[in-house]
Each structure stands twice: as C-alpha cells, then as structure tokens.
Amino acid sequence: MAAALVDEEINSDDFYALLNVRREATQEELKAAYRRLCMLYHPDKHRDPDLKQQAETLFNLVHQAYEVLSDPQSRAIYDIYGKKGLEMEGWEVVERKRAAAEIREEFERLQREREERRLQQRTNPKGTISVGVDATDLFDHYDEEFEEPGSGFPQIEINKMHISQSIEAPLTTTDTAVLAGSLSTQNGNGGGSINIALRRVTSAKGWGELEFGAGDVQGPLFGMKLFRNLTTQSFITTHCALQFSSRGIRPGLTTVLARNLDKNTMGYLQWRWGTQSAMNTSVVRDTKTSHFTIALQLGIPHSFMLISYQYKFQDDDQTRVKGTIKELEKQRENSSSTIAMKKQEAEAAVRLMQESVRRIIETEESKMGLIITNAWYGKFVTDNSGRNERAKVIDVTVPLQCLVKESKLILTEACKISVPGFYDPCVGEDKSLKVIYLFRGVLHQVTSADNESLRIPKQSHRIDTDG
C-alpha cells in the first residue's frame, strides 16, 4: 500500500495547484491565471530551440488544466475522480448538457456499476491437498530371516489423501456466495462433500450466512450463522445447524460471546448444545513477545483445563515495518526515472521563468515591495552542518518570485509538487515550505506545511532584529 501511495504521489498533477487557484475558483479567476501562465510559457516567446520545446510542453499542460476546469461537466468529474475519472469508461454516454450535480450522480452510478462488474469477475480460490504416507517399514524393518523373497526394499505406501477447494464469488457489494468441496480417501474407502453458503452484510455491525451441505458420509446439513457487534469492545456469534443422517436429525447450536479485556487480551464465553454439549470459557492474551491462553471446559463427554504459553522470538510488527520500508525503497528505485523526468521539467520551468522573474524583481524593488530572498521545499532535518538538510530540500526561490503579483504571494491549499518549478525531493515523506523574504526593506520568515495555504506578506512573519 505504501508503494502505491508513493507512485501516486510521484505522478500526481493537480490542475488547481498548476494554475495556483482555489478549488472554488470562479471562471474569472481561472481565466486570469490561465492568461498569466500563457504569457509566461508561450513557445513563441522563446528563440532557443530547447527552451521553446520545454515551453511548449508546459504550455500544453496549462492548456489542458484550463480546458478541464473551465468546463463545468469536466470539472465536476475531475473534482470527484481526478484525472482517472476523465478517462473512465462511460464518459461518452453522459449528456454534456447536464448540470454539475447531475454529472456527479451519473458518474457515481457508473462507478457503482463498474465496481459490481469487478466484483462479479473476482473470485478468491482456496485449496488444500494433504497426503498420508505410511513409512513404517522404513524405520521399523524386520530382520532378513523374516522377509519374504524379493522384498529387499522397504515398502512405502500412501494410505490416505484429502483434497479441498473453495471459491468465493461476490454477487454484489453486500452479498457473497461461497462454494466449497472436499474429497478424501483412507485405506481404500473414500467419500466427499459439498457446501454452498450465501453471506450478506446487513449493516456495519453485522452479517448473516446461510449454509447448505451434502455428503455421502454424514448426510445433508442446513445451517445459519449470525455475527453482531454489540459494542466497540464486544461481539457475539451464533451458529445453528441441522444434520440429517441415518440415525435421524441431529440439531446443534453454538454461541460465542467475546469481549476485549484490554488492548492485548480477549475473553471468550462459549456455549455448545448438540451431540457434544459443553460450556467453555477462555482468556487469550497476545502481545508482541508472547501468546498466553487459559481455558476451562465443562461438557459431555469431555471436560478439561488448558494452559498454554508461547514466546515469540521475532517482533511481527517490526518485521512488517521493515518490509514496508524495503518496499518503499524498492518503489523509489523503480520510480527513479520518473523522478528524474519531474526534476528536469521543474528545472526547465525555472529557466523559462528567469526573464519574467527579473522584471518582477525590478518592479518590486522600485516600490520596496515583496522580494523572495530564499525559499526551500522538502523535509527539513535537524543537522548543524546542513548537509542532510540540503539533501532533503530543493531551492524554489525563482518559482515563488514568479508567482508574486502586486507585492503579494498567495499559494492555495494543495500539495506544492504540482506548482511549476517544484518537484518532490523526498518521495513518501512529509514536506514543508520555508520562505525568507523582504517586504518594505524588513526581513520576514515563514514555514508552512505542504498542504497548507500561504499568504505573504504578513506582520506575524516579521523577524525582530532589534535585539
């Protein structure tokens, strides 16, 4: 899952962040942002062939973002599903004249239908095969004088075999059908059984299941299971069944009440009625280093007391964390080419901004306005030498100065990696933006989280130099 998030983060293109507008932006705001970026990235403004090609790429991306967000229907789809929603099957059947709310309802319906088709095509097969081998002759061999002629090799034979297979077939988002079967043979005698179950999730707190089984050994079986969460700390399950055999009908009922005693401890109370009636109570404690069970059963014909303790030599949680870290590192290695491409695109955007930034700085200096002296984006690491910090952040002074308009800089509430001139220097990690700027000749400084909106200048950013 971590790898999927990394891949999504690397390849994300936020149209709102690209245009640097609010998600609630009006058509006028979109048009103003689009015109400003068109003037900056228009290919005809650059004579150098390399810059011209880079400008054309950015110009086309800005044009695509504006086309989507300026169309109410496309914008409604993008707001719900992102870029993938625009490519989703069924787009061509939606009437373009519908309102945005109707478009959302239509695509939610298409998404539900797509999910149901996916569920219908998905199964969850499970199977086991077990073989019993009699190798007694290999370890307990008679002396040669008792052997029959021609029996020089020990005899090894298969005396039993069991094969089972089950398939889960989701019918809808709440209903699941389960088909299971088994075949077994032992010492020349064999048999088989088949079970069909239909499970329905009735609510967020419970589900029910109907079961039918048949076999040539025990006869038909009808059963029903119910599960229900009583509270956030306890639940109850009930299983009732009718077994048909040559001896008649044998009913059975099992009820289990369970409760969390603490973070690592569960308590169970079980009552079973039928051919082997019993009352069982148990406490199970499972921690990172140990597993402890104590159980007491009073029943017919078996009564017992059980105490079990297991020590875990390896921390499963730590293993999972290590596995996640390795998976994250592997995904970063596999995505290195994509990251390099994003870095090249950002560097190209910065080169295209140089001339505009020079004019903006001249204008701001003439009126003692807003000058971005330094800006970094990424993960800031505490290190006096600064080496680790520079390895985790990138310089975004030019891209931010390019966004300054009338002595103001406004960044919307969005991830900054989609802003022209930015890229992700530390994939999968939390990032922030640090800005040092001059306003009216006074030094200011601010640090904000990646997804926070930022408005510059502010009086609270001012650095007090009196002391």
pTM here? 0.47
Q: What is the pLDDT of residue 1?
A: 44
CATH number of 20's domain = 1.10.287.110
Cβ neighbours of 6 (radius 10 Å): 22
- Indicate the residue among 270, 300, 322 that finishes a domain: 322
Q: Give the burial class of 12: count Cβ atoms within 10 A of its Cβ; 0-12 exposed, 13-18 middle, 19 or more buried.
A: middle
User: Cβ neighbours of residue 291 under 8 Å, at least 6 residues apart?
Assistant: 284, 285, 308, 309, 310, 312
pLDDT at 328: 57
Supply 75's token pair.
Answer: 């914008």
**DSSP H helical ranges for 305-437:** 316-334, 336-366, 387-392, 397-402
If asked whether residues 316 and 339 sit together in one domain, one would say no
| Tally of domains within the chain | 4
Q: Report which residue type is found at 183.
A: L
Residue 35's pLDDT is 87
Q: Mark whether 274 and 175 lie in a shared domain.
A: no
pLDDT of residue 6: 45
Q: Specify the pLDDT at position 224.
A: 93
Q: Which amino acid is at 448?
A: S
Say if residue 377 is in the same domain as residue 315: no
The residue out of 204, 227, 250 marking a domain boundary is 227
Dig out the tokens for 407 from the structure: 């002595």
> Does residue 467 fall inside a structural domain?
no
First to last CA, the chain: 50
- Domain encompassing residue 173: 124-227
Please calculate the CA angle 101-107-109 and round it to the nearest 5 degrees.
105
* Alpha-carbon dihedral sign for residues 48, 53, 54, 60: positive
Q: Say if residue 255 is in the same domain as residue 192.
A: no
Quick one: pLDDT at residue 3?
Answer: 45
Classify residue 122 as exposed, middle or buried by CB count within 10 Å of its CB (0-12, 13-18, 19+).
exposed
Residue at 94 is within a domain: yes
Is residue 466 included in any domain, yes or no? no
Cα 85 versus chain centre, distance: 18
Say how far apart CA 38 and CA 363 lie, in whole Å. Answer: 20
Radius of gyration of the chain (CA): 34
Q: Are residues 305 and 340 in the same domain?
A: no
Residue with tokens 């700390």: 233
What's the pLDDT score for residue 452?
Answer: 86
Q: Last residue of some domain: 212, 227, 242?
A: 227
31 and 46 in a single domain? The answer is yes
What is the predicted pLDDT for the residue at 374? 92
Q: Which of 98, 43, 55 is nearest to 76 (CA)?
A: 98
Q: Which ranges of the chain have pLDDT less than 70?
A: 1-12, 85, 87-104, 106-107, 111, 114-125, 136-154, 216-218, 314-336, 382-391, 465-467
Give domain status of residue 49, yes or no: yes
- Same domain? For 148 and 176 the reply is yes
Whether 221 and 237 share a structural domain: no
Would residue 86 count as lying in a domain? yes
Measuring CA to CA, which residue among 9, 101, 42, 23 is closest to residue 352? 42
Instruction: Assess whether 344 and 442 both reside in one domain.
Output: yes
Asked whether residue 73 falls in the same domain as residue 144, the answer is no
Cα angle: 52, vertex 55, 57; to 5 degrees: 115
> What confidence score (pLDDT) does residue 294 get?
93
| pLDDT recorded at residue 149 | 56
Contact criterion met (CB below 8 Å) for 284 and 266 = yes
Both 264 and 313 in one domain: the answer is yes
Does 450 lie in the same domain as 338? yes
